[in-house]
Every structure is written in C-alpha cells, then in structure tokens.
Structure 1
Amino acid sequence: MTGNGRRRPLSTFSLLRATAVFGSACLLAGCGVLPGATGGSGEPLTVMTWAPDSTRATNMPGMPAMGQAYARWINARGGINGRELRVLTCNEGNEPMAAAACARRAVQEGAVAVVGSYSQNSRAFMPPLEAAGIPYIGGYGLTDDEFKSPVSYPVNGGQAALLAGNGIQLADACDRVSLVRPDTLTGADLPQIINTGLAQANHRTAVDIPAADDAGEYTEEARLARARAGEKGGCVTAALGEYTANFFDSFRRLPSDGRDVKVSSVLGSVDQPLIDRTGGVNGPFEGAYLTGWYPDAGDPRWEPMKQVLREHAFADNRIDPADTGVQTTWIAYTVLTAAVESLGDEEVTPGLIGRALDRGVQVDTGGLTPPLRWRYEDMLGTPSAPRSVNHDVTFQVVRKGRLVAQKEGFVDVGPTLRKAAAH
C-alpha cells in the first residue's frame, strides 16, 4: 500500500514471476480477468511498433508480432494500470518514405510511444516523433539518432558497444585480428572502437578492411582478411549488418590454404536464426566468437518472455525468442509498462511518459540488462551516443550450432567507449 492508501501496482517482473508459477492453474480455474478484457475504466493506451517486412533487405516481422503478443498477455491480466494496451504495427519497408509514413500514422492515431522498433531511417522517422513529443522506446540501436534524440530511450548500447566489446573479447583469443566493416562514414569509426577494446590487453591493432555494405559476395575481402590474420591463431571479424552472412559465405568458400583462422562477429550481424539457416553445427559460424547485448537465448532469464510466447503466440512462427529484435522488443515493452505504472491514475500522454523516464523511473528487466534509467547522470555522454545508458555486453560462442555464454555475466564497455571518443 502507498501512503495515501492506494495499492501500488505490481512491477512487470513481479507479475511475470507470479505468472510463471501460478499462471496455468489460474487460467484453468477461471481466476482473474478474461483474455481481451481491459480490467479498468481508463482509455486504451495506443502505441506503435514498426519494422521492415517482406523486403529484399533485412526483415524483422518478429518485432511487431512480439508487441502484439505482449499486449495480449498484459491485457489478459487487466492491462497496464487498468488500461488496455493497443498495439499498432507498421511495415517500415526499409524505405525512408515508409518510415516517415509510419511515424506520421503514430501521431495521427494518438500513440503515446513507439516501442521496440527497427529502422535504419531515423532521419525520416525521428522528426515527426520529436515534433509530437512521442517517446521512441527501445529502438534496435542501429542509428546515431537513437542515441542522440531527446525523445529516444535506447535499451542497449548499439553497434559501438558491440565493437568495443568484440575487441575486448578477441584480445584474449586471437594473435591478429582482421576487421571487415562497411566502407561508409559510420563504418570508418569502427576500427578506432575495436582497437580501443583490443588495447585493453595490449593487443596490436586490427587490420582494417573496408567493404561494400550491400554486396552479394565478398571473395576478395575474404581472401585479404584471411591472409592478414596470419598463419595461425588469427581471427576475422565482420560487422556488415545483414550482409555479414554473405561475407562469411564467401569466406567459407575460399580454397583451403592451411591457415587456422577463427571467425567472429557481433549480435545484430549474426544471431541464432542466421546460424540455424546457414547449417548450424556444420555451418560457417561453428566456433565463432560473438559479442551481444543480452544473455544468450538459453539463459533462464528469458523464461518469462518465453512463457508469454507459449501462452499468447504459440502458433506465430514470426517470433523466434532467440532473435535479437524480439528480445529488444520484449525489453522495450517492459520499459513502457514501468513508465505507465509510475504515473498511477494520471492521464497517460507522450509527454508524461517521457517526463517519467527523464526524471528517473528505474526499470528492472529481470537481469536481461542492468537496471535502466535515463536521468542525465545515468547517460554515457560521449559525442556520438550521449543518451546511451546501457553499455554492458555479453561474450558468446557458437558450440554445437548454438550460441552459448563464453563468459558469465556482463562486461561494461563504457570506459572503452569513452577512451575511443577521446581519440
């Protein structure tokens, strides 16, 4: 009970833990609110989740589907503070115009937040959100704007955190490192970041190999990366986004030259679904070192999410609980719920959600991230990512076709990112 006699709402993860133990029995017994009921007299909360679908490039249909599954779960338990959660979805299409149209639709339909979404087109979608003051909670972490915009609340450290962590991870595993990265302005920053991570163990700098960020094959880059990694004990790491699979396919097809070279990448460029699609234990990623934002998919801390999917999305093959986008969306909706719960009986508006987060609502994600909070003093404050609040990463490795933890716990790469920014 609070001091004014009102019952304090359960946090999301308190509710999840209770559900994990008693959920099935309670549903069979008919206790609680029927699925689909709002459980209160408040107006529905409208949010949007967007991602590209059915395009020639990256597709992330699991992210909007995860948002819808979360809504079914939370609404079956009375909604958020008695308010039904209404999730709009939008196909961002990997196109700036489509991304901007999704943002304008969110404004027109009265969305109080955009949650757990994927887009490379922040310059198109962010201005409409900023003009309307709509929070962008838990974007995938693809663009600089997600770590700079005053309406953005990132839940991971983006690619910079992954590259810094990848340098630390490979420093102890490789004698030499070849980095294959996009030949773009953004890609030009990556060697400095990974080298700062490598320097933590007084490691030599990585060999920088720029490559097209949209090629169908990378035979020449693969040959050069392998040669520059040395005769033995070297590593080749690639961060080409969706085209990383094309690079490692070219790498695998190189004629054998007797070199013992390990491969590496970062989550977001490689994940469990890609490992599965490319042959699993017999594919190019067996034995690969990967740096991720979150614990590996087999970690028990993902069980609450998996239970929600079993109950409310068991037949939805768009949702893979091992997909980083699905995981990010789950965490983003956890943040949304905590922010709305903190408002109590107040009317929920975009401005009040943003204010609650700015003033220090602390979000417990059940150990999937450190506690998240977006006060000024919680932010990393580097020029490229001033709003980053989670700079922890995990070290993983592919064993028997599955991503598993190489090292227990999180590694804080915040100091590494600050050093990289200073150079």
Structure 2
Amino acid sequence: MKPARVLVGVSFLAIAGLVLPACGGAGSGADFGSAEGEPIKIAVIGTLESPDLSQPNSRIGAEAAAKAINANGGVNGRPIEVVSCNDKGDPNTAAKCAREMVGQDVVASIGSVTRNSDQAIPIFAAADIASIGNYPATSADRTDPSSFPLGGGITNEYTGAGYSVVKYGGAEKVSLISHSAATAQAAMGYLEKGVKAAGGEVVNEVRIDLGSADSSAQVAKAVGNGAQGVVTALPSADMGQVTRSLASTGANLEHATDSFSAQPTLLESLGAAAEGMILSGDTPSATDTSVDYIKQFNDEMNAFDESSTRDSAGLMSWTATYLLADVLEGLDTIDAASVLKAMGKIENKDLFWLTGFSTTAPVSPAAPRIFNSTIFVNEWKDGKIILLDGPVALPAAALQ
C-alpha cells in the first residue's frame, strides 16, 4: 500500500508555503529568510565525510528544512540555524564535535549518522541536549534517555530484510550473509528472527571478511542447500561485492538487504546485479515524488542544494528538523532542557511518513529508545527505488 500522505502538523507554517520551487546552487547554511529573531541553533554531527562512510545528507536535509521553515517566518519569528561538525569516523573527533556543539548552546542534535554515538551522546546528555532522528546503530542510540530515533535502525532494517525476502520475495529457504567481526552475531540474529517471523527457514549462515576482494567461496556456500533467497547484513562496499558475486553464480536468488547499506548511488553502480533487490528501510523512497511529502522534500532539497543526492539519511534529518520545529513552537522557553522534556512526551504524532509516533512507549525493553516498529519495503527496479509496501509493522516477537 502507498504510505499515508501526511502533511506536517506545524501550526506556525502555512502548508501551501512549504513546497518551494527548485532553484540551483548550494546554500550557505545561514539563510534566515523572513525570520528576524535570535537564531535557534541545532547541531548536526556525524560522519559527514570519511574514507569508508560519508553521509553529507544528514546535514543537507536539516539545512533544507531549516531554510524552508525560516522562509515562512521561523519558529515564532526566530530562525533555525544549523551548525555541523564532521567526526570523520573517529570516536575522539566525535566527542570533540559534541563538546563544541554544547559550547555553542545548541538546543538539540539532529539526524546524526555515525558509528561513534557512544562517544557523542553522553556528552549531549550531560548538557540536557536531545538527539533526534539519529540512526540507532550503537548502544547509546538505543538506550540513552536523551536519544530519540525516529526509526529502528539496524534492528528494524535487518529484521525487516529477513522478513521481506520471505514475505515479498517468496523465498522459503534463506541464506544469511554477514561479516566475520564479533559485532555480526547480533546482525545474524536480527536476520534470522525476520526470516522465521515470516515463516521461512534459514538453510545457511555465511560470514565474509570485511574488505575482502573475493567472496566467491562464501557465496558458493550461500547458494547451496536449496536456498531460494539471501539476506545480507554488510557495510555498503562489502554488500556490493557480494551482490556481484551472487549475480556471477547465475543462481537468481531473491536478495534482500537494509536500505542504509544500499544507497541509490551504489545500486546504480551494480547495474543488473542489483535489479529486483528488496530493501528494508526506516523510511520510504526519498525519490518517489508521486508522494506529496517526498515531493516537498525534493523541492526543498533542490532549493538548498540542487546537486545533492536524495537518500534516507537526508529524509530522516529533514523530518527530524520539522519534528523539532513543531516541538519548539509549543514551548514557552526555548532551551535544550525544555526540548528534552517535551520530546519525552510525544504521543501519536503523524508527520510525513511517521504515523502514530510516540516516545512514551518503546518497542522492546532491550532497546528502550526505539519507538517505531515499522519498516518500508522497497525494490530496486529499472534504476529506481519503488515502494512495495509500507509502513509495515514487524511482528513484536521478532524485535525482542
């Protein structure tokens, strides 16, 4: 089914004014539009650029939303100002970034995508600064009381990939492929729970070495034992390498993975090898402009930086900025502590792709900061990400 076309419920913005015409050029990050009051600073820190992970859209999405909000008068006349810091994939730099943001009196951290949240979030928490829309990849993301992810991250996406290869791909016998590092054990568990929740059977568990140039031997094992589908939980580069190896076997297995690892630029580079891949993600496709709010997202991204790519990281950060704006509009005093308190009281919020979002009811005791049990199931087809179904509520037992 198509995702609900929910428009943002922010009373201080006229909905008709939110969709901006596309224009060229990159923004400077300090466009206050018609808002003239004291700027409200929000932070975007994360791995914006590094050799093995780059997520610049976590900043660009927030900047695009802030520009549109400011053009419509800001928050009660006050503009939103985005300040950012690239942790370069380094935990020490992440901690330094967080301390710098605290020193700039930001009221919240938005859309962080990093493996170093365990270093950054405690620093924010000590200053009563909420992390909103962060990708929940670490313990701090999933357990710290100041953390408010909008999706389930790897828990939902990996579980959803296992679930989707059976339910939407029709594969009853499934191979799981992850890496050989110790952290892969949890990933394998999520994949397996998803497969079994959909009524499938795991017939192979395969591990590859991270950065391996040749996974043909492991892939040969994955296509054995009557496997009809494979599910991968791998970093992007390794997932791409395995996808090519799978295609070279000619086995034509259904392949599902998480949307975070399978960004459009990677899928395009894989060509025919990626055709038909099922993608389990926290968000719907960021490029399907037939959906009202996705068109709005693309228009506002164009207005800020027409050259930017469109992906789930940008959509998540953009959504989180609008959610924060909605929270800010209802506060008598705008400061970090007030935002943190208000974030903990959100109930049944509908916002763009979020439906019934509440921060008072976690999905699982094991992950008390995960509030969303849904995924969007997409498919890579003819060079585009198309929606198969969503939002899909994953079985509660699979997320425990």
The TM-score, its normalising length taken from structure 2, stands at: 0.87
1:157-306 to 2 correspondence within 5 Å?
157-172=152-167, 173-228=170-225, 230=227, 234-242=228-236, 243-252=238-247, 254=248, 256=249, 259-279=251-271, 283-296=272-285, 297-298=287-288, 299-300=290-291, 301-306=293-298
Equivalent of residue 350 in structure 1, options 336, 341, 346: 336
Q: Say if 2:171 and 2:200, in contact at 8 Å, map to a contact too.
A: no
Q: Report what 2:305 is aligned to.
A: 313
Matched, 1:412 2:393: yes
Q: What is the letter of the counterpart of residue 98 of structure 1?
A: T
Q: Which runs of 4+ in 1 moved over 6 A?
A: none
- Give the Cα–Cα distance (whole angstroms) in 2 for the partners of residues 363 and 38 of structure 1: 28
DSSP-derived class of the 1:277 partner: helix
Equivalent of residue 401 in structure 1, options 373, 378, 383: 383
- Unaligned 5+ segments in structure 1 are 1-9, 25-34
Structure 1 residue 382, shift from structure 2 partner: 2.7
DSSP-derived class of the 2:124 partner: helix
Q: Report what 1:12 is aligned to.
A: 10
Please provide the CA RMSD for this pair. 2.4
Higher relative contact order (CA 8 A, sep 6+): 2
Matched, 1:380 2:377: no
Q: What is the letter of the counterpart of residue 373 of structure 1?
A: S
Q: What is the letter of the counterpart of residue 166 of structure 2?
A: A
Structure 1 residue 397, shift from structure 2 partner: 1.6
- Give the Cα–Cα distance (whole angstroms) in 2 for the partners of residues 18 and 130 of structure 1: 37
Equivalent of residue 84 in structure 1, options 79, 82, 93: 79
Q: What is the letter of the counterpart of residue 200 of structure 1?
A: A
Closer/same/farther in 2, CA of residues 110 and 348 from structure 1, 3 Å limit: same
Equivalent of residue 133 in structure 2, options 135, 138, 153: 138
Q: What is the letter of the counterpart of residue 295 of structure 1?
A: P
Q: Say if 1:48 and 1:114, in contact at 8 Å, map to a contact too.
A: yes
- Give the Cα–Cα distance (whole angstroms) in 2 for the partners of residues 400 and 411 of structure 1: 24
Q: Percent identity?
A: 22
Q: Say if 1:338 and 1:363, in contact at 8 Å, map to a contact too.
A: no
- Unaligned 5+ segments in structure 2 are 1-7, 22-30
DSSP-derived class of the 2:241 partner: helix
Q: What is the letter of the counterpart of residue 272 of structure 1?
A: P
Q: Say if 2:14 and 2:72, in contact at 8 Å, map to a contact too.
A: no
DSSP-derived class of the 1:227 partner: coil
DSSP-derived class of the 1:222 partner: helix
Q: What is the letter of the counterpart of residue 187 of structure 2?
A: L
Instruction: Choose 1 or 2 for highest CA Rg.
Output: 1
Q: Say if 1:194 and 1:206, in contact at 8 Å, map to a contact too.
A: no
Structure 1 residue 126, shift from structure 2 partner: 1.8
Closer/same/farther in 2, CA of residues 290 and 237 from structure 1, 3 Å limit: same
Q: Say if 1:117 and 1:140, in contact at 8 Å, map to a contact too.
A: yes
Closer/same/farther in 2, CA of residues 389 and 90 from structure 1, 3 Å limit: same
Q: What is the letter of the counterpart of residue 83 of structure 2?
A: L
Q: Say if 2:48 and 2:59, in contact at 8 Å, map to a contact too.
A: no
